[in-house]
A and B are shown apart, each in its own frame.
Chain A
Amino acid sequence: MSYRPLDTRSVRPPAEDAEDHRTVDWWGLIFLIVVILAFFSSVMFSFFFLRFNAEQWPPASIERPTLLLPTIATLTLLASCLPLIWMQRVLGKGERPRFNVGLGLNTGLSVAFLAILIVSLSMLDFGATTNAYGSAFIVTVGFLVVLAIAGLYVGAIVQARAWKGHFNGPRHVAVTSLSTYWYVLTAMWMVVYVSLYLLPYIE
């Protein structure tokens, strides 16, 4: 048997303009998110387990966390998703400079979210070692902070690649992956915001 070059254009590696589901990077991201969500569910399960185990939650000795800063942080995080949507649209039209601006806006708003959140954490009158409530509270929020920092870090790499002009096709799996990760993070934050901050005020 002998081999002769054939026209193989249609079966090349799915590169810049492939639909996401053709690439294994995309599938890897999906299952990374599954792992993160499974971990997050365990954290939330623990939070509510301790909550229903306690007579009073937060314990009587503790002020419930104030709402102002966390709410601003939440709005900032929600706002950071808008440039992502916009950015994917302009990338589809091949407008690279505007794409870079969108990515930058997203990063800026995400950093603002983190900053406000961390300031609000530092103003709490309890800490992780005060009691079980404090532990569950700080570790739950801390987990999201870590995820956000990881997202920003990978985002910075994507950003650097964007400025070097790596993304010139109409779509790119690194870009869709980053936005998907950020949307999932935002959704998880909403769960945390409602259960940790809002709920004590509703009851």
Chain B
Amino acid sequence: MATVSEQTVSERLDRLYGNPPGFAGWLSAVNHRQVGARLIVTAFIFFLLGGIESVLMRTQLAQANLDVLSPEAYNQFFTMHGTTMMFLFAVPMVEGLGAYLVPLMLGARDMPYPRLNAFGYWCFLFGGIFLYSSFLFGMAPDGGWFAYVPLTGPVHSPGLNMDFWLLGISFVEISAIIAAIEIIVAVIKTRAPGMSANRIPLFVWGELVTALMIVVAFPALLAGSVFLELDRKIGTHFYNALEGGSSLLWQHLFWIFGHPEVYIIFLPAAGIVSMIIPTFAQRPVVGYTLVALSTVAIGFMSFGVWVHHMYAMGIPFLSLAFFASASIMIAIPSGVQIFAWIATIWTGRSVFKTPFLWILGFFVIFVLGGLTGVMVAVVPFDLQVHDTYFIVAHFHYVLIGGMVFPMFGGFYYWFPKLTGKLLGEGLGKLNFWTFFVGFNLTFFPMHITGLLGMPRRVYTYQRGLGWEVLNLLSTVGSYILALSVAIFLWNVFASLRSGTPAGPNPWNAGTLEWATDSPPKNYNFLEIPTVSGRYPLWEEQDIYSGEDIDARANAYLVQPHHLHRATQGTTPLYAETDGIIRLPQPSMLPLLLGFGIAVVFGSILVNLIVPAVLGAIWSLVIITIWLWPHEGDFVE
């Protein structure tokens, strides 16, 4: 029988899983690492845009009665800043990290629906461009990131501003839901043989619970947005109190989504922490089961907490008490995670490299943010500080502490996997310390400005209220933050040009993504590994010594006459091989479908019926082609 050398197999598979050549090939890419990297880079660009908006706001507030931004511009800026950070940065970023890393951690060659994955990316990109194009027309949304009605209804916001917001956000939500389904099914079906549920890396647990929350929570906002857009465009009365509607309905629908949103952002970030700490303590995480279970618990509880955003709205007292205790309850599983992390650091031999530093920064800030959060959860206190800068300070401590710090830690940690080069340590430490100092200088004083009574969302303030020094400090802090981000970008460019080559596993980590090359070959794993513990690379056993059926699956995946992409299918709980999952080739369909939907949304925006119908027909045609099986798709 003919045999083939490993090198031939590698070259052949690399071609099979790579892109077709040229620009068209680039547009038709469906590989999870390409889609993931695009999500990460695009989300980071939106982070920069949101950051620029916030620095301009801080400049306007540096002193009393400044004139940098007009009141209208200020409204647009805080709305676009909040919207960008929540919808265009945080969620796509955690999903992008998931799209890139989850299959590598699971030992798979790609995600289960690569074309859908690419479609999700195009929806995100088009939705983001859609939202930002409003600036070109001077009609950027200005109703705040939670877009409360009646302010955002047809009577009070007759311009197109809120239509940009509603349509753009819906577009981005579709993309988030798609990416979430992708991640869930990847975790259920494509784990390496032997990776039973109690061996799934904790980052993947975080991504999984987040994805499940997205699938349940985002449709609520989608429904709310559809109602509001209908109210605005065709004159329905969902939120019109005069005709029996209710503006409280919007608030419920928004916060059914909005509260879980905070944990949707936080759980994958906590997953990053749970990956970095064991690596830099050089020991398995303490209390794996407890951490995984509390991840699930936080996911469940976060749905019960939504009403605490509406304390000031007059909800009957009994349910108030219930929701107050639920808000505090969530502190318990969060606490469990924190203790597990501390115990891991305590009992390990810590290596203080840059990724680890970011995680320590996360600890400090997150604990502070958690404390103020418990304060906010106490009902009477909430009424006191409601809509002041205390709240602004609180949620930035939670969001930046809980998500941005771990994210930067994750960047330093996985950058070598993405590019093959390490980021500079010296610049990294400078990056960290400027960020840490800048962050605290920006947001700590806001607690006090808030207690002194400064309301949020004001474009300026009067002299002599004792707010000037504190505001100036915040503004200086935000400049230091901007400088820190610039240092990071410099670090990235320097590393890409002349960084130290990383090798497959620069940190001596234990999970599967480090078994691949840096950057991984197009096919990720030549053979699908077999897992016998939580840290396969730290185990004695060879990861390529599976059962007979695993060997046969691998033989299938590398066989010479094998002409289409595929990855291993395993059972949901115990991850036993139960087949091969056939994957599609690169395709233009995702881009074409995204384009069709963008045409529909754009036409709705400006009330054009004919293009809307044409766009819909175009989309239907694409869907039909997509669903129609190709030659040989199911005959072997």
Contacts and interface: CB of A to CB of B under 8 A. Distances in A.
A28 interface: yes
A15 B634 contact: yes
B112 interface: yes
A14 B240 CA distance: 52
Interface string B3-29: 111100100000000000000000000
A8 B556 contact: yes
B153 interface: no
B537 to A, nearest CB: 19
Contacts of A46: 223, 227, 238, 249, 253
Interface string B564-593: 001001001000011111100000000000
B352 interface: no
A46 to B, nearest CB: 6
A59 B553 CA distance: 64
A6 B555 contact: yes
A133 B189 CA distance: 44
Contacts of A35: 177, 181, 215, 219
Nearest to B239: A132
A144 interface: no
Contacts of A43: 223
A4 B238 contact: no
Secondary structure type dominating chain A contacts = helix
Contacts of A50: 238, 244-246, 249
Nearest to A142: B230
A135 B636 CA distance: 52
A139 B230 contact: yes
A10 B627 CA distance: 27
Contacts of B629: 161, 166
B3 A4 contact: yes
Interface in B208-262: 215-220, 222-224, 226-227, 230-231, 234-238, 240, 243-246, 248-249, 252-253, 256
Contacts of B222: 39, 42
B556 A11 contact: yes
Interface stretch (A16-24, A66-74, A97-105): A16-24
Nearest to B567: A24
Interface in A56-110: 59
A2 B3 contact: yes
A132 B238 contact: yes
Contacts of B236: 128-129, 134-135, 138-139
Nearest to A19: B578
B238 A31 contact: no
A8 B555 contact: yes
Interface string A34-51: 110011011101100110
Given A3-B6, A42-B224, A28 B219 contact: no
A7 interface: yes
Contact of A32 (B1, B181, B189): B181
B558 interface: yes
Nearest to B177: A35
B391 interface: no
B559 interface: yes
Contacts of B9: 3
A122 interface: no
B636 A15 contact: yes
Contact of B244 (A31, A53, A128, A139): A53
A5 B559 contact: yes
B367 interface: no
Interface in B167-184: 177, 181, 184
A50 B578 CA distance: 49
A128 B556 CA distance: 57
A154 B620 CA distance: 10
A139 B249 CA distance: 15
Contact of B219 (A5, A8, A42, A54): A42
Contact of B223 (A10, A42, A132, A154): A42
Given A2-B4, A6-B551, A46-B227, A11 B244 contact: no
Contacts of A38: 215-220
A27 B464 CA distance: 62
A1 interface: yes
Interface in B334-363: none
B317 interface: no
B252 A135 contact: no
A157 B623 CA distance: 10
B566 A13 contact: yes
Contacts of A6: 551-552, 555-556, 559
Contacts of B572: 21
Contacts of B555: 3, 5-6, 8
Contacts of A131: 237, 243-244
Contacts of B628: 157, 161
A7 B217 CA distance: 46
A23 B569 CA distance: 8
A46 B189 CA distance: 35
Given A35-B219, A132-B240, A157-B627, A14 B246 contact: no
A178 to B, nearest CB: 11
A49 B552 contact: no
A32 B224 CA distance: 19
A56 B306 CA distance: 28
Contacts of B71: none
A5 B552 contact: no
Given A28-B112, A49-B249, A131-B243, A5 B1 contact: yes
A135 B553 contact: no
Given A11-B579, A42-B219, A3 B230 contact: no
Contacts of B238: 46, 50, 132, 135-136, 139
A5 B559 CA distance: 6
A132 B1 CA distance: 75
B548 to A, nearest CB: 10
B560 interface: yes
Quick one: which of A3, A18, A161 has the most chain B CB within 10 A? A3
A129 B237 contact: yes
18 contacts: A3-B560, A10-B549, A11-B549, A14-B578, A14-B580, A22-B578, A38-B216, A39-B220, A46-B223, A46-B227, A46-B249, A49-B248, A49-B252, A53-B244, A129-B234, A132-B237, A139-B226, A166-B634
Interface of B: 1-6, 9, 112-113, 177, 181, 184-185, 188-189, 215-220, 222-224, 226-227, 230-231, 234-238, 240, 243-246, 248-249, 252-253, 256, 549, 551-553, 555-556, 558-560, 566, 569, 572, 577-582, 620, 624, 627-629, 634-636
The 7 A-B pairs at the shortest CB distance, nearest first, are namely A132-B244, A135-B236, A6-B555, A42-B223, A39-B219, A8-B556, A38-B219
Given A16-B634, A134-B237, A154-B627, 5 more contacts: A11-B579, A32-B181, A39-B223, A132-B245, A166-B629
